[in-house]
C-alpha cells in the first residue's frame, strides 16, 4: 500500500501559506538601504624641518627678572633670578653686572639663572645690566634699577691706641699694601657656588656691635662698622659659616689675625682679630670646621670676633646670609657645588 503524506502536516503548511497571503496580515519588510562607503580623510603633507603653520616661531624675548627681597635694605644683598620666557628662544649665555662689577650667574634646572647682588651702604638704587645671547646669535641688553631701603644706623665711641688713628709712614705703607692684597683677593670670583645648604653663625654668642654702626675712634669719626661683632673670650672657637676655600689667612694691621673664605659667586666671609688661625691659604674648609680662635689682635678694645661679608667690592651685613633662602636655590642648581679635591 503506498505511503500517504501526513494529513496534519499538509493542513499546517496550507494554513501558513494562506495566512501569508491573506488580508489584514503584515508583509515582510524590504531590506534596508546599504550604508555609503566611507570617504578617506583629507591629509596634508607636513615638513618636519619647518614649524606647523599655526604655531608662532620662538623669538628672542627678554627673560623674566625676580628680586629677593623685592626692596633690599642698604648694606645687604639680594638674589637675582633670570627665567627665560616659554615662547622665547633658549638662551645660550646670560651675563649681568652692577656698579661696574660682575654678577656671577649660576644655571638652574629649567634654563633659569641666578646671582647675588650687593646693595652697599649709602645708596638709594643699584643699577643692574643683564645681557642675553640666544642660540641664534641674537643679543639683548636690559638696564634695570634695584630700589633700596635706607636705614638709620647708630653711632658709638671707642678708645684705641693712637697708632691706629694716626699711623706713622711705615704703618701707612703697610696699610696701603694690605688693602691692595685684600682687593685683589676679593676680585677673584669663583663661577659656581662653593657653599652647601644654609649658612650658620661662626659663634653662637651675643652680638656686641651691629653692622653699619658709625665709629668714633678717640672722638673722631673714622669709619662705619662693616661687620658684626660677636662676643667671645680669648681662645674660644670660631667656625666656618659654610664650606669654601681660604683665600687669605694672615696678620693684618687693622684686622689682626684674619681669615677670608671664598664661598663662590663672589661671596666671601671674613673672620678678624683671631688669637690664632687654624687654616692656611688655599685650604678647603667644610661648614662648621674650626678655622681659628677668638682674640684681640689688630684695632680692637678687647677680645671678640668680627664677622664680615663681602660681595662685588662692598662690605655687607653678614646676617643677610642667615635670612636668604640659599638652601632652596642650591637644590635647583643644574650642577652641584664644587667637589673638594
**What cell numbers appear for 275 in the block?**
688669637
Question: Are the beta carbons of 103 and 312 closer than 8 angstroms?
Answer: yes
What's the pLDDT at 57?
75
Claim to verify: residue 109 and residue 180 sit in the same structural domain: no
Claim to verify: residue 192 and residue 264 sit in the same structural domain: yes
What's the pLDDT at 323?
83
The predicted model scores a pTM of 0.77
Task: Indicate the pairing of strand 214-217 with strand 155-158.
Answer: parallel
Which residue has better confidence, 155 or 220?
155
Which residue has better confidence, 218 or 262?
262
Of the candidates 222, 229, 95, 86, the residue with the CA atom closest to the CA atom of residue 159: 222
Last residue of a domain, one of 102, 125, 147: 147
Question: Are the beta carbons of 295 and 276 closer than 8 angstroms?
Answer: yes
Whether the predicted pLDDT of 209 surpasses 60? yes
Whether the predicted pLDDT of 157 surpasses 80? no
Q: Is residue 98 part of a domain?
A: yes
Claim to verify: residue 113 and residue 176 sit in the same structural domain: no
Claim to verify: residue 169 and residue 186 sit in the same structural domain: yes
Query: Could you tell me the pLDDT band of residue 280, with boundaries at 50, 70 and 90?
Result: very high
Query: Could you tell me the pLDDT band of residue 341, with boundaries at 50, 70 and 90?
Result: very low
Which residue has better confidence, 209 or 11?
209
Range of the domain at 139: 64-147
What's the rounded mean pLDDT across residues 2-9?
49
Claim to verify: residue 311 and residue 240 sit in the same structural domain: yes
Sheet hosting strand 220-224, strand order edge to edge = 155-158, 214-217, 220-224
Claim to verify: residue 84 and residue 223 sit in the same structural domain: no
- Could you tell me the CATH number of the domain that includes residue 135? 2.60.40.10
Q: What is the rounded distance in angstroms from the CA atom of residue 164 to the CA atom of residue 175? A: 11
What's the pLDDT at 279?
98
What does the mean pLDDT of the chain come to? 83
What's the pLDDT at 109?
82
Q: Is residue 20 part of a domain?
A: no
- Could you tell me the CATH number of the domain that includes residue 311? 2.70.70.10
Instruction: State pLDDT tens for residues 64-96.
Output: 998 889 899 999 999 999 988 888 888 888 999
Query: Could you tell me the pLDDT band of residue 339, with boundaries at 50, 70 and 90?
Result: very low
| Secondary structure letter of residue 181 according to DSSP | H
Which residue has better confidence, 192 or 279?
279
Claim to verify: residue 140 and residue 169 sit in the same structural domain: no
> Among the ranges 15-29, 72-86, 98-112, 252-266, which has the highest mean pLDDT value?
252-266
Claim to verify: residue 308 and residue 170 sit in the same structural domain: yes
Q: Indicate the number of domains in the chain.
A: 2
Q: Is residue 310 part of a domain?
A: yes
Q: Is residue 36 part of a domain?
A: no
Q: Is residue 188 part of a domain?
A: yes
Q: Is residue 102 part of a domain?
A: yes
Last residue of a domain, one of 112, 128, 147: 147
Lowest mean pLDDT: which of 128-132, 194-198, 325-329? 325-329
Q: Is residue 199 part of a domain?
A: yes
Claim to verify: residue 220 and residue 324 sit in the same structural domain: yes
Give 325's contacts (C-beta < 8 A, 6+ positions apart).
68, 79
Whether the predicted pLDDT of 24 surpasses 50? no
Proportion of the chain above pLDDT 70, given as a percent: 75
Claim to verify: residue 110 and residue 205 sit in the same structural domain: no
Query: Could you tell me the pLDDT band of residue 21, with boundaries at 50, 70 and 90?
Result: very low
- The three-point CA angle 257-259-194 to 5° equals 175
What's the pLDDT at 159?
53
Claim to verify: residue 237 and residue 89 sit in the same structural domain: no
Last residue of a domain, one of 106, 122, 147: 147
What's the rounded mean pLDDT across residues 170-198?
92
Which residue has better confidence, 73 or 210?
73
Q: Is residue 57 part of a domain?
A: no
Which residue has better confidence, 279 or 31?
279
Claim to verify: residue 222 and residue 254 sit in the same structural domain: yes
Whether the predicted pLDDT of 175 surpasses 60? yes
Amino acid at each position: 500500500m503506498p505511503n500517504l503524506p501526513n494529513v496534519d502536516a499538509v493542513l499546517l503548511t496550507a494554513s501558513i501559506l494562506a495566512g501569508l497571503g491573506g488580508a489584514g496580515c503584515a508583509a515582510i519588510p524590504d531590506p534596508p538601504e546599504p550604508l555609503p562607503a566611507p570617504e578617506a580623510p583629507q591629509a596634508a603633507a607636513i615638513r618636519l624641518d619647518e614649524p606647523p603653520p599655526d604655531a608662532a616661531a620662538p623669538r628672542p624675548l627678554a627673560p623674566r627678572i625676580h628680586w629677593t627681597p623685592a626692596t633690599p635694605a642698604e648694606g645687604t644683598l639680594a638674589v637675582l633670578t633670570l627665567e627665560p620666557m616659554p615662547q622665547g628662544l633658549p638662551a645660550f649665555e646670560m651675563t649681568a653686572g652692577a656698579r661696574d662689577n660682575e654678577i656671577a650667574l649660576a644655571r638652574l634646572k629649567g634654563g633659569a639663572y641666578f646671582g647675588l647682588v650687593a646693595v652697599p651702604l649709602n645708596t638709594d638704587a643699584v643699577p643692574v645690566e643683564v645681557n642675553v645671547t640666544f642660540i641664534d646669535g641674537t643679543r639683548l641688553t636690559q638696564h634695570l634699577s634695584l630700589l633700596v631701603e635706607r636705614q638709620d644706623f647708630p653711632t658709638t665711641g671707642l678708645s684705641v691706641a693712637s697708632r691706629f688713628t694716626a699711623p706713622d709712614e711705615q704703618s701707612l705703607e703697610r696699610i696701603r699694601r694690605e688693602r691692595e692684597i685684600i682687593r685683589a683677593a676679593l676680585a677673584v670670583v669663583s663661577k659656581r657656588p662653593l657653599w652647601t645648604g644654609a649658612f650658620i653663625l661662626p659663634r653662637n654668642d651675643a652680638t656686641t656691635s651691629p653692622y653699619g654702626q658709625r665709629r668714633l675712634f678717640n672722638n673722631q669719626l673714622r669709619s662705619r662698622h662693616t661687620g658684626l661683632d660677636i662676643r667671645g673670650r680669648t681662645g674660644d672657637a670660631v667656625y666656618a659659616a659654610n664650606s669654601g676655600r681660604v683665600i687669605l689667612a694672615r696678620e693684618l694691621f687693622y684686622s689682626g689675625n684674619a681669615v677670608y673664605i671664598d664661598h663662590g659667586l663672589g661671596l666671601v666671609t671674613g673672620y678678624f682679630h683671631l688669637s690664632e688661625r687654624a687654616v692656611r691659604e688655599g685650604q678647603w674648609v667644610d661648614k662648621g670646621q674650626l678655622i681659628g680662635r677668638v682674640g684681640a689682635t689688630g684695632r680692637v678694645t678687647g677680645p671678640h670676633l668680627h664677622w664680615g661679608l663681602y660681595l662685588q667690592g662692598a662690605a655687607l651685613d653678614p646676617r643677610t646670609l642667615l635670612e636668604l633662602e640659599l638652601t632652596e636655590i642650591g637644590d635647583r642648581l643644574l650642577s652641584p657645588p664644587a667637589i673638594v679635591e
